[in-house]
Amino acid sequence: MSNPTPRRRLVGLSTKMYFSLQRTREFTDSFISKLAAVPQELLSNIDIFIIPDFISLTNIIAQLELSPVPIWTGAQDCHWEDQGAFTGEVSPSVLSSAGVKLVEVGHAERRRIFGEDDAMIAKKTAAVSRNGMIPLVCIGERTPGDVYAAVDECRVQVDAIMSSVADEAEVVLAYEPVWAIGASQPAGEKHILDVVSGIRGLDSVKTRTGTTRVLYGGSAGPGLYEKLKTGLDGLFLGRFGHDPQQFIKTIQEVPTYIIRSIMSPPAAVSPTQHTAELVKPVSKLAVAQNQGPLAKTVSEMHGQWDSFTFAPIRESQVSRAMTRRYFEDLDSYAESDIVIIGAGSCGLSTAYVLGTQRPDLKIAIIEASVSPGGGAWLGGQLFSAMVMRKPADAFLREIGVPYEDEGNYVVVKHAALFTSTIMAKVLQLPNVKLFNATCVEDLVTRPSAEGVRIAGVVTNWTLVSMHHDDQSCMDPNTINAPLVISTTGHDGPMGAFCVKRLVSMGRIEKLGGMRGLDMNRAEDAIVKNTREVVPGLIVGGMELSEIDGANRMGPTFGAMALSGVKAAEEALKVFETRRKENAI
């Protein structure tokens, strides 16, 4: 096999918020002048970029036209939408039309200071790419540890990034261990190379057809690339590069170097050729030395069970993979935009509509049961089929659930088909998090002109809530949100919780109590009356029957889905008002 063509090297810097307008102009002029003295053959395989502040962008683009070699201009951030009511944000479409070549997203500072998470960064990455620019995405582990833990943490970030862009799109990853930023002891060269090797070995990276370049984004200067050249495609310089002479010196040290051991093979290579795996494991992790390549498809496993083996893992990796993500979610969703209580058919439908219509909203779903779905896994009396009266069939078509048309109603062959489909679609949304086995014990309130406004929920593990009477005091947790949507069902151990709490806190006098079964009256009433019952609290589904004294509907589910649709609509009507109130 012939050697693969090397990726072009990439070296650049960001001025962050350090430069004045005058200094930015002077820096650029000085850099262009010094670059003209560099032999052009040294620059034949290198792409160079400068990322100035937003105000300087168009002037820098004009200045760089005088450069002896092409220099890319980058932007320090952008919004995930091309246009809209997003005051203070920068449109990726405008950046592209101005001549910007690449956009930096996901920097550790923006994650830490502005609360940007992987879902938001993925949306920004997609916006950059769809506007014809190259996303330069910053990644890195937050806590020091072994290579395997670092790669595992980076995997979550990288997978979110790659899932948001076309397979053929170019992506640049700038790796820097977050824990090493400003630390007295920076990350070692071996650690950097080993983690980058692991990143290149991720399925979301090595199977791409588009170019993926990996830079080191930490404290970098002259002499560093020589130590890292076997694993990296270039450098994303820090403040060291703010000296034009040092920037030039670093560029000159980046050689043309074919990375043989870790580059992905071209698409035409036989499947029996494999890229190198993560570097030799450290002594803590025992690995079978002759296990051979792992199967990439199920068909490759057929007939090979005698030699079958899973990829090696350390037990602590499993623990870290679960706990790190969960506690990151707890931290991220402690301030949510909307909380949905109850993940039955109404709550999931609400989450689907909100999550797809407003991807900028952070939506938390709290479900008391281990298994979400409520009573929608079966039809009536433990039968399989699910009946929905028209026009709820429109929602089935929206989410892609097949059904049999019986005239005024439709039948889904198994209720679990509806529930598993809507649940899968909701859980795939990057702005929605389901906390199951978690119950709402109380509501967060604020005084208002109407008497009280709901401003979040009080949560606890369901198993803890069930044992308050026989164990010592176990205090709860909280989630703040300007809007809560309660879909907890009719009265029961966990049902109708919010409306019962409104009575006990004196916000409403009493409940109407659910009436007897009348399908025709019940379903219309549930959908029509889905509403904000007190400021900050919308009630939908069968919980409404308890507050309004409506009829029960029995084993027909159309009102549950469409009450969810209306709950989402009601939420979007009042959300901005409630958000402003919640900011006080």
Q: What is the CATH number of the domain that holds 528?
A: 3.50.50.60
Q: Is 548 annotated as a binding residue?
A: no
pLDDT number for residue 175: 94
239 and 348: one domain?
no
306 annotated to bind ligand: no
Are 128 and 225 in the same domain?
A: yes
| Tokens 């707890």 -> residue | 330
Show which of 234, 254, 274 is a domain's final residue.
Answer: 254
CATH number for the domain spanning 38: value is: 3.20.20.70
Q: Which residue range is the domain that position 521 belongs to?
A: 328-377+428-583
Decide if 92 is inside a domain. Answer: yes
How many structural domains does the chain have? 2
The answer on 457 and 562 residing in a single domain is: yes
Q: Are residues 212 and 347 in the same domain?
A: no
Q: How far apart are CA 409 and CA 14, in angstroms?
A: 60
Task: Quote the CA–CA distance of 513 and 533 in Å, as a whole number.
Answer: 16
CA distance 209 to 211: 7
Question: Would 278 be classed as within a structural domain?
Answer: no
Asked whether residue 137 is assigned to any structural domain, the reply reads yes
Residue type, 384: S
Spell out the residues 6+ positions from residue 106 whose beta carbon is closer than 8 angstroms to its own. 116, 121, 124, 125, 137, 138, 139, 157, 161
Amino acid of residue 263: M
Q: DSSP class of residue 495? A: T
CA-to-CA distance for 5 and 266, rounded, in angstroms?
A: 9
Q: Are residues 63 and 193 in the same domain?
A: yes
* pTM summary value: 0.57
What are the tokens at 363? 């939506």
Q: What is the DSSP string of 547-570?
A: HHTPEE--S--HHHHHHHHHHHHH
Are 127 and 248 within one domain?
A: yes
Check the annotation: does 498 bind a ligand: no
Helix-, strand-, coil-residue percentages of the chain, each rounded to 5? 40, 15, 45
Residue 277 in domain: no
What's the confidence (pLDDT) of residue 286? 35
d(CA 339, CA 456): 7
DSSP sequence for 511-522: ----EEE-HHHH
Q: Are residues 225 and 352 in the same domain?
A: no
Domain-located, residue 140:
yes
Co-location of 229 and 357 in the same domain: no
Torsion, CA 171, CA 174, CA 177, CA 182, rounded to 10: -150
Residue where a domain terminates, one of 254, 272, 298? 254
Q: Give the DSSP per-residue string, 387-418.
A: EEETTTHHHHHHHT---EE-SSEEEES-HHHH
pLDDT at 277: 40
Q: What's the pLDDT at 477?
A: 95
Please give the Cα distance from 297 to 290 (Å, whole number).
Answer: 20
How are strands ordered across the β-sheet holding 537-539? Answer: 432-435, 363-366, 338-341, 483-486, 537-539, 531-534
Amino acid, single-letter form, for residue 4: P
Q: Are 73 and 96 in contact (CB under 8 A)?
A: no
Q: What is the DSSP letter of 293?
A: P
DSSP secondary structure, 161-186, as one string? HHHTS-TTS-EEEEE--GGGTT-SSP
- Per the annotation, does 440 bind a ligand? yes
Query: Do 231 and 334 belong to one domain?
Result: no
Q: Is 475 annotated as a binding residue?
A: yes
536 a known binding residue? no
Are 186 and 141 within 8 A, CB to CB? no
Q: Tell me the β-bridge partners of 215.
A: 174, 234
Do 205 and 343 reside in the same domain of the chain? no
Contact 368, 497 (CB under 8 A): no
Per-residue pLDDT of the chain (584 residues; tens, 9 = 90+): 333 344 689 999 999 999 999 999 999 999 999 999 888 888 888 999 999 999 999 999 999 998 888 999 999 999 999 999 999 999 999 999 999 999 999 999 998 888 899 999 999 999 999 999 999 999 999 888 888 889 999 999 999 999 999 999 999 999 999 887 766 567 888 899 999 999 999 999 999 999 999 999 876 656 777 888 888 999 998 888 899 998 998 888 875 443 333 333 333 333 333 333 443 333 333 333 334 556 678 888 899 899 888 888 889 889 998 999 999 999 999 999 999 999 999 999 999 999 999 988 999 999 999 999 999 999 988 999 999 999 999 999 999 999 999 999 999 999 999 999 999 999 999 899 999 999 999 999 999 888 899 999 999 999 998 888 887 778 899 999 999 999 999 877 668 899 999 999 988 889 999 999 999 999 999 999 999 999 999 999 999 999 999 999 999 999 999 999 999 999 999 999 999 998 86
Per the annotation, does 553 bind a ligand? yes
DSSP state letters, 204-228: HHHT-SS-EEEEE-SS--TTHHHHH
Is 311 annotated as contributing to ligand binding? no
Contacts of 298 (CB under 8 A, 6+ apart): none
Instruction: List the one residue out of 349, 343, 353 whose CA is nearest residue 374.
Output: 343
Residue 324 tokens, joined = 């790190």
Q: Tell whether 367 is covered by a domain.
A: yes
Whether 222 is in a domain gets the answer yes
Q: Is residue 136 part of a domain?
A: yes
Is the bond into 281 cis (omega within 30 degrees of 0)? no
Tell me: is residue 554 an annotated ligand-binding position.
Answer: yes
**Listed residues 225, 254, 283: the one ending a domain:** 254
DSSP 311: P
Rounded Cα–Cα distance for residues 477 and 456 (Å): 11
